[in-house]
Every structure is written in structure tokens, then in C-alpha cells.
Amino acid sequence: MSIRRIPCGEITLSVVDEGEGEPVVLLHGFPENNHSWRHQIPALAGGGYRVLAPDLRGYGESDAPPAVADYAFPHLVGDIVGLLDACDADRAHIVGHDWGGSIAWAIAALMPARVRSLTILNSPHPVASAETRQVTEQAQKSWYMLLFQFAGVAEEWLTGNDFANLRAFVFDTAASGTFSQEDRAIFCAALARPGRMTAALNYYRANIPPENWLKPPPDLPPVTVPTTIIWAEADAYMSGLLLEKSMEKVTGPLHVERLPGVSHWVQQEVPDAVNALLLQALRDVDTQ
């Protein structure tokens, strides 16, 4: 795969740049990097698209600014807009999972002219997330968000004993065979680099501090671009309520695919199904 370091404004991102055609930007989540799209990159490039899969700021080989405030939403959104600018892409298909999905939702809401289509994989709309944070069903699943606020404690909890808790948090909640030993080593080695686990946790600390749990939800314009939501229903961390609330934020064309029995790590657990749905979603928009 072709990997480039691309200046994107404030920082430089490490980006897999593969294929030719309309750009498709793949945004990964916590606690991963662009390796989480290893099954989708060749499928989309082979399908006639230019795939741009960055390590988000703080992850993998991308720059990792030191301050918590460096990971606030305006910076995260600005990185991806900067990536589009650097690649001379007026607009792109945006695909996001987990935190990458949060960024994708925000770009689609705030800058629809830059988004050809939006595809979300198990990631709530930021407003939907805030609306359900105190609902018991979702609050119980979001316990880790408060733990992650404790600087030093959360890092040790996740990395101690050869990443035992992170392995349980991620790998053990997916179907057997989802993550090979090589995959596990790649993700853990990336987070073992100095400062990288803190950078990953700063997404929570900058955007979901404890006081935000008591505040009214943020305000975002409705999503008007063509949107596909692929939702794995056996997600250990996200209830179906998040899906229902997220659907309410879309006023443009919306298609929802529910995948029963599949975990949060959907594109890695059932890559063939996700690849087929992604390609169909992109082609449906391209033929409109």
C-alpha cells in the first residue's frame, strides 16, 4: 500500500493513498489506526475509488500534539478538511467508524458541500450521543468514558500487564478470528509508543469531559447529504437507542443496514458484508 505523509494544516497525517477515481476517506476510531480498514482499502480501490485512510491525529504515524485541547472537535474536523484540500478534492465520500464516525457526522453537518456521501459504521451522531448519555441503557454501556478522564490512571489501566484490559476491551468483544495475532500486535505496538495512548484518550478528555454529561446537547445542523448507516447490533458499547436518535438527525436520503450478532468492530468482523454495503452505497450515489 502507498503511505504518504500529508501536511493537513496544523499537523501532518500519515495516510494510505490507494487507487484512482472519486476519493473515499476512511476514518478509524478508538483505539486503532488505519490498519482497521485493511479489508476495505483493497476492495474500494479495486472498485474504482481513490482511498484515503489517515491515521487520525495522535494515532499511528501521524503527528500527536501534546495538549488535551489539541484534540477538540474543531481540530479533528479541520484535519480532514485539510486532507481534502491537500489532495485537491473538492468533496469526497466520507466513511467513519467510532470516533472517526463522530468526525464524519460533524463534517457532513457543518460542510455538506465537501461531502459526496456519508457512511457511518457504529458511531452515534454527536448530538444523539449527548442526548442518550444519561439514559440508563446507554449510560451503563458508556462507563469507560468516565474512567478515561483520569489522566495516568486510564493509561495504566489500558496498557498494564501487556495491554490486558485493552485486549479485553477490544479484541475479546469481537467474534473469534476477527483480530489475528498480527493485528493485535500492530494495534498494541502503535499505542505503546510514548504519548500515544494519552493522545487517544485525549479525544474523550477534550470532547466529553465529565461536566458535559450534565449540559444540554450541542447544536449541529441536520445532515442533508446521502447517508448510509451500517449498524452492528451486538455492540457491547452502543445501544440501539443511539441508532434511532442518530437517524433523527438526517433529513437527506437515508439508508440503514442492521447487522444482527455483529460486534462494534464491524468492518473487521464481517469485512465481506461491509465491503459489499460500502460499494453499493457509493455506487448508488454515483448513479444519482
Which sequence positions are flagged as catalytic? 98, 204, 264
Centre a 10 Å sphere on the Cβ of residue 81 and count the other Cβ atoms it contains: 15
CA angle 84, 245, 78 (to 5 degrees): 20
- Find, among 26, 249, 223, 12, the residue nearest to 107 by Cα: 223
**Euclidean distance between CA atoms 42 and 275, whole angstroms:** 10
* Closest to 218 (Cα-Cα) out of 144, 125, 148: 125
Residue among 242, 17, 23 at smallest CA distance from 130: 242
Using DSSP's 3-state secondary structure scheme, residue 259 falls into strand
In 3D space, the residue among 136, 131, 146, 140 whose CA is nearest the CA of residue 242 turns out to be: 131
Q: How far is CA 268 from the centre of its chain?
A: 13
Residue 242: C-alpha distances to residues 165, 216, 288 (Å): 25, 16, 29
